C-alpha cells in the first residue's frame, strides 16, 4: 500500500488551542491544566479505502506516519438472530476478532489490534526508543503481535495473574519483552510499573487514553458501522474499563457530523461496567465528574472479583476534560452495570444466536443492551451499534496450536524506579536494542530474580 503520512493538527480540548504534533505529544506542551488532546484532520470528508488495506482503509482519520503489515479492520453486519431475540429492527454488530466467514481475521481476537496498528503507525520510522505498554491482557497480546510482526522494540507490563491472556500463533520476535507485577496485583499496578520507566530516555510511554492514535484506532469501529449502515447510529453500546473506546466513539461521531454525508445526530453512548468494579458507573449515577472516594485495597479487591478482568482500570480518564464524563454529557448518554452471572448469559446467548464465542467484556455489552431494552432506553426501530470488542478465541485455538510466554522479570509493587530501569535496560541491551554506553549496570544486590 503506497502511503503518505496523514495531515493533521492537535487540539487542546479545554482551550481549543491547535498545534503541530512535534514527535510524540500526549498533552498540550503550553498548558499546565489537565486535558485530553484531539487530532484535527486536514481531510474533512473521509475516503474509505479498499478492504485490502486492512485497518488503514480508515487512514484519512488516523494520526499515522506509516502503515504496518498484517492489519484487519473491524467488521460490521446487521444482526438477525440476536435482533429477533431482543425485538430490534436495526441492530448492527461491529465485530473485532476472529471470524473468517464475515471477514474478521484479527489474529489476537481483540479490537485492541486497532489501537496497536495505529499507535505503532504513529511512531516515526527512525524511532530509536522502546515503546512501553501497560495492559490487563488483550492490549498486551495485540501490541506484542503487531510489534513482533513489524520488528518494533516493545516492553509490556502486565499483572502476573493475567499471563494466561498472552497466547500467540507462533513464538514472538525477540524485540518484545514482558515484565510483571506480582500475584494479587491488578491493571493499575501494571500501569504504575510502566510509569517507573519514564525516567529513562531509552523508553517511550505509549500514553494510553492520552494518545490520540490509540483513541483514533478504536474509533475505526464507529467508522466501520457508519460506512456499512450509511449513517451515524442512534445508540452505541460497549463495555468499558477505561472508557477510552467510548470517548473515541464520541470523537468519531463529531468528525462524521463535520463530514456532512452521514447525518447530524449525536449517538447516545451507553457504556457498561462489570459489578462489583464499577467506579465510572458509580460516579456517573451520582453525576459526579470526580470518581467517588474508595481506598486502594478495596478497589484492588473489587477489580480482582470481576470476570471481565480487562474492565478493571482504577484510574480511568473519566474526569479529565474530553474524558468519558464529558462524552456522556455531550451525547445524553448513560451507564449500565452488569454482574458476572449476567455477562456469562450474554456470552452464551451471543454464541448460540450469532454463532461465535465472545469475550466476557463483550458479554457485558450484550447484557447491557438487554437491560437498556427492559428500561425503555432504546426502542425497536432505533439504529443501534453493538461493539463486540473481542471474540473467536475459542475457535482460533481449536484451529491453531498456540504458544504461551514466560515473563522476563516479576517486580514487587514497591520496587524503585531506578532498579526497574536498570533491569529493563540490561534486558534490551542483551539484544542490542540499547547501546551499552546508555545504561548503568546495577549492583548485584539489586538484581531481581529472573523468572
| Dihedral (Cα; 26, 419, 430, 406), 10-degree rounding | -80
In angstroms, the CA 243 to CA 113 distance is: 17
Domains and CATH numbers, the chain: 75-106+214-398 (3.40.50.1100)
Torsion angles phi and psi, residue 143, rounded to 5: -65, -40
Per DSSP, the three-state class of 353 is helix
Q: Which residue in 150, 199, 205, 158 sits closest to 177, CA to CA?
A: 158
Q: Which residue in 223, 324, 338 sits closest to 273, CA to CA?
A: 338
Q: Where are the beta strands (DSSP E) in 286-349?
A: 336-338
Query: Is the distance from CB of 55 to CB of 73 less than 8 angstroms?
Result: yes
The residue with cell 478492504 is: 51
In angstroms, the CA 57 to CA 102 distance is: 17
Q: Which residue in 352, 376, 111 sits closest to 244, CA to CA?
A: 111
Rounded (5°) CA angle 178-424-109: 20
Query: Is the distance from CB of 213 to CB of 25 less than 8 angstroms?
Result: no
Whole-number pLDDT of residue 229: 98
In angstroms, the CA 172 to CA 290 distance is: 41
Per DSSP, the three-state class of 163 is helix
In angstroms, the CA 10 to CA 337 distance is: 34
Whole-number pLDDT of residue 451: 34
The residue with cell 525477540 is: 174
In angstroms, the CA 243 to CA 279 distance is: 11
Whether the model clears a pTM of 0.85, i.e. scores above it, the answer is: yes
The residue with cell 481449536 is: 398
How far does Cα 352 stand from its chain's mean position? 27
Measured CA to CA in angstroms, residue 235 lies from 126, 128, 143, 251 at distances of 41, 42, 29, 14
Q: Per residue of the chain (451 residues), give pLDDT as tens.
A: 578 999 999 999 999 999 999 889 999 999 999 999 999 999 999 999 999 999 999 999 999 999 999 999 999 999 999 999 999 999 999 999 999 999 999 999 999 999 999 999 999 878 889 999 998 788 999 999 999 999 999 999 999 988 999 999 999 999 999 999 999 888 889 999 999 998 899 999 999 999 999 999 999 999 999 999 999 999 999 999 999 999 999 999 999 999 999 999 999 999 999 999 999 999 999 999 999 999 999 999 999 899 998 898 889 999 999 999 999 999 999 999 999 999 999 999 999 999 999 999 999 999 999 999 999 999 999 999 999 999 999 999 999 999 999 999 999 999 999 999 999 999 887 655 655 445 444 433 333 333 3
In angstroms, the CA 119 to CA 143 distance is: 9
In angstroms, the CA 93 to CA 238 distance is: 11
Query: Is the distance from CB of 205 to CB of 192 less than 8 angstroms?
Result: no
In angstroms, the CA 417 to CA 193 distance is: 8
In angstroms, the CA 273 to CA 240 distance is: 6
3-state secondary structure 383-417: CEEEEECEECHHHHHHHCCCEECCCCEECCCCCCH
Amino acid at each position: 500500500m503506497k502511503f503518505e503520512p496523514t495531515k493533521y493538527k492537535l487540539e487542546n480540548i479545554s482551550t481549543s488551542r491547535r498545534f503541530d504534533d512535534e514527535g510524540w505529544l500526549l498533552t498540550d506542551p503550553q498548558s499546565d491544566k489537565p486535558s485530553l488532546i484531539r487530532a484535527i484532520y486536514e481531510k474533512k470528508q473521509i475516503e474509505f479505502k479498499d478492504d485490502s488495506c486492512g485497518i488503514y482503509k480508515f487512514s484519512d482519520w488516523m494520526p499515522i506516519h506509516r502503515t504496518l503489515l498484517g492489519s484487519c479492520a473491524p467488521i460490521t453486519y446487521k444482526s438477525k438472530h440476536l435482533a429477533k431475540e431482543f425485538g430490534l429492527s436495526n441492530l448492527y454488530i461491529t465485530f473485532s476478532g476472529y471470524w473468517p466467514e464475515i471477514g474478521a481475521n484479527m489474529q489476537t481476537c481483540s479490537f485492541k489490534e486497532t489501537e496497536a496498528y495505529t499507535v505503532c503507525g504513529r511512531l516515526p520510522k527512525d524511532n530509536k526508543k522502546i515503546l512501553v505498554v501497560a495492559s490487563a491482557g488483550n492490549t498486551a497480546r495485540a501490541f506484542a503481535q503487531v510489534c513482533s510482526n513489524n520488528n518494533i522494540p516493545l516492553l509490556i507490563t502486565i499483572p502476573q495473574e493475567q499471563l494466561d491472556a498472552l497466547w500467540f500463533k507462533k513464538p514472538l520476535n525477540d524485540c518484545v519483552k514482558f515484565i510483571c507485577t506480582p500475584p494479587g496485583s491488578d491493571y493499575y499496578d501494571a500501569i504504575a510499573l510502566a510509569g517507573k520507566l519514564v525516567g529513562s530516555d531509552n523508553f517511550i510511554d505509549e500514553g494510553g487514553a492520552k494518545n490520540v492514535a490509540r483513541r483514533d484506532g478504536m474509533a475505526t469501529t464507529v467508522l466501520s458501522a457508519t460506512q456499512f449502515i450509511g449513517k451515524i447510529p442512534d445508540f452505541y453500546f460497549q463495555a468499558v474499563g477505561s472508557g477510552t473506546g467510548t470517548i473515541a466513539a464520541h470523537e468519531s461521531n463529531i468528525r462524521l457530523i463535520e463530514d456532512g454525508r452521514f447525518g447530524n445526530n449525536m449517538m447516545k453512548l451507553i457504556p457498561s461496567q462489570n459489578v462489583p468494579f464499577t467506579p465510572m458507573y458509580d460516579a456517573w449515577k451520582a453525576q459526579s465528574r470526580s470518581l467517588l472516594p474508595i481506598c486502594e485495597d478495596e478497589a484492588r479487591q473489587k477489580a480482582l472479583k470481576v470476570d471481565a478482568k480487562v474492565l478493571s482500570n482504577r484510574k480511568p480518564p473519566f474526569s479529565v476534560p474530553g474524558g468519558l464524563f464529558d462524552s456522556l454529557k455531550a451525547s445524553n448518554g448513560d451507564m449500565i452495570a452488569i454482574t458476572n452471572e449476567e455477562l456469562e448469559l450474554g456470552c452464551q446467548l451471543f454464541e448460540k444466536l450469532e454463532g461465535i464465542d465472545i469475550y466476557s467484556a463483550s458479554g457485558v455489552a450484550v447484557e447491557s443492551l438487554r437491560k437498556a431494552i427492559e428500561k425503555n432506553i432504546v426502542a425497536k426501530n432505533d439504529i443501534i451499534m453493538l461493539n463486540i470488542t473481542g471474540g473467536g478465541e475459542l475457535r482460533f485455538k481449536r484451529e491453531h496450536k498456540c504458544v504461551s510466554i514466560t515473563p522476563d522479570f516479576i517486580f514487587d509493587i514497591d520496587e524503585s524506579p531506578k532498579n526497574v530501569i536498570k533491569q529493563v535496560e540490561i534486558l534490551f541491551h542483551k539484544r542490542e536494542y540499547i547501546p551499552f554506553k546508555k545504561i548503568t549496570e546495577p549492583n548485584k544486590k539489586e538484581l531481581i530474580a529472573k523468572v
